Amino acid sequence: MTSTILIRGAKVLGGEPQDVLIEGETIARVGTGIEAEGATVVDARGAILLPGLVDLHTHLREPGREDSETVLTGTKAAAVGGFTAVHAMANTFPVADTAGVVEQVWRLGRESGYCDVQPVGAVTVGLEGKQLAELGAMHESAAGVRVFSDDGKCVDDAVIMRRALEYVKAFDGVVAQHAQEPRLTEGAQMNEGVVSAELGLGGWPAVAEESIIARDVLLAAHVGSRVHICHLSTAGSVEIVRWAKSKGWDVTAEVTPHHLLLTDELVRSYNPVYKVNPPLRTEADVLALREALADGTIDCVATDHAPHPHEDKDCEWSAAAMGMVGLETALSVVQHTMVDTGLLDWAQVADRMSFRPAAIGRLEGHGRPVAAGEPANLVLVDPAYRGVVDPAGFASRSRNTPYEGRELPGRVTHTFLRGRATVVDGKLA
């Protein structure tokens, strides 16, 4: 039986209130005064309707670290955050460097039913940076991998990076680089600057990120291939990406919500919840990143959702794992830093969190306009909501959020995956 849902009075992409009729898996009509007998009606007056969000950078941890997250719990967290598709990073155990592993992750995602999972394939065998993984086999597998990344580690060998860029060009794939020069970041614990000097913690210089980005945009231009830069964190990185785009090179970039809000001043607390890779930077970097996301130099927001179990974070700073969960708070942080500050409107949020990440990943069925005939992958947001972040209520298996106790605006009230409500009134359906 086909279900019919009538979303009434939602501001589509922040515009005038409209009704949206969903029949089965598809948007049937968008307009005003739509009536549909027998439909489930969702009163969405005051809410913003966006296309389902797409994340280019999620760590789901399965296989191998199911104590921090599984595909099921991670996709539940994604749905709560308004996502209908996530790209699952390859740094699992075993590493997603073969057709077998990416197919396993892809299948687990389909079985979850909460959010589509598009596996990212490793660039090199075991993420060791020495030998190219079976990129073609992963692309040709049922998972249809198009994004390749050694994320967590940098592909620091220029010859390997060049070969990967050449290889993926054949099937319009993209290499997503975690830009971190390994020698310049040996023993690094936080951003290199005034705060690291005062605290006596090993510094992580901006140039360690920027030098790799500079090299890789040049390599991508030389090869005529696509490169995507993960989690930009410095003002200098923004300048390099801006320059590469001005040349017409096929370079895209993402920024995380936490790099749009938090600074290295927080490390003074020695609370490992603020330990993340790349590290939290300075206020000047945060402002440059916001401006770059607003003007389109940075294409999209990506969460870098990095769940860790309590015991890996609740220890002294130097021993703690790097990373933060992010799926369930991403849209609120973007509203807080970009919308409520007047830097982006909701149509641009749809662009940076749905259209563009889907386009970069060449993902079908997501990042589509809210229009008749399109798949009903949608999210309703209440922008007037104000709430304090309480990780105890997270759908994620992990709790390592830097926003605990912080008031953030906005709440996802409904998420629809191909017409099925995965979230209703802010709760998993």
Residue 178 makes contact with Zn ion by CB under 5 A: yes
Nearer CB in complex with Zn ion: 116/151: 151
From the list 303, 246, 259, 252, the residue with the least C-alpha distance to 147 is 252
Nearer CB in complex with Zn ion: 178/308: 178
295 assigned ligand-binding residue: no
Helix axes 158-169, 206-223, angle to 10 degrees: 40
Whether 312 sits among the annotated catalytic residues: the reply is no
Stretch that binds Zn ion, among 32-40, 73-81, 104-112, 150-158 (CB under 5 A): 150-158
Q: Are 173 and 132 in contact, with CB atoms under 8 Å apart?
A: no
Alpha-carbon span 326 to 60, nearest angstrom? 12
Stretch that binds Zn ion, among 73-81, 91-99, 147-155, 237-245 (CB under 5 A): 147-155
Segment 244-303, which members bind Zn ion (CB under 5 A)? none
Closest residue to Zn ion: CB criterion: 178
Residue 156 makes contact with Zn ion by CB under 5 A: no
C-alpha torsion sign, points 58, 306, 354, 239: negative
> Could you please report the per-residue DSSP string of 270-330?
--GGG--SSPP--HHHHHHHHHHHHHTSS-EE---B----HHHHSS-GGGSPP-B--TTTH
Residue 290 sits at the vertex; the CA angle it makes with 302 and 161, to the nearest 5 degrees, is 50
The residue assigned the tokens 């439909």 is 39
Instruction: Extract the tokens encoding 259.
Output: 């790099």
Nearer CB in complex with Zn ion: 5/127: 127
Q: CB 202 → Zn ion: shortest distance, Å?
A: 18
Residue 151 makes contact with Zn ion by CB under 5 A: yes
Q: CB 231 → Zn ion: shortest distance, Å?
A: 6
Nearer CB in complex with Zn ion: 103/209: 209
Q: CB 259 → Zn ion: shortest distance, Å?
A: 12
Q: Which of 216, 264, 285, 304 is catalytic?
A: 304
> Could you please report the per-residue DSSP string of 339-380?
ITTTS--HHHHHIIIIIHHHHHTT-SSSS--S-TTSB--EEE
Stretch that binds Zn ion, among 62-70, 115-123, 174-182, 385-393 (CB under 5 A): 174-182
Residue 315 sits at the vertex; the CA angle it makes with 313 and 320, to the nearest 5 degrees, is 50
Please report, as ranges, the residues that interact with Zn ion according to CB under 5 A.
151, 178, 230
Q: Which residues are catalytic?
A: 304
Binding site, annotated residues: 57, 59-61, 91, 151, 178, 231, 277, 304, 308
Binding site, annotated residues for Zn(2+): 57, 59, 151, 178, 231, 304
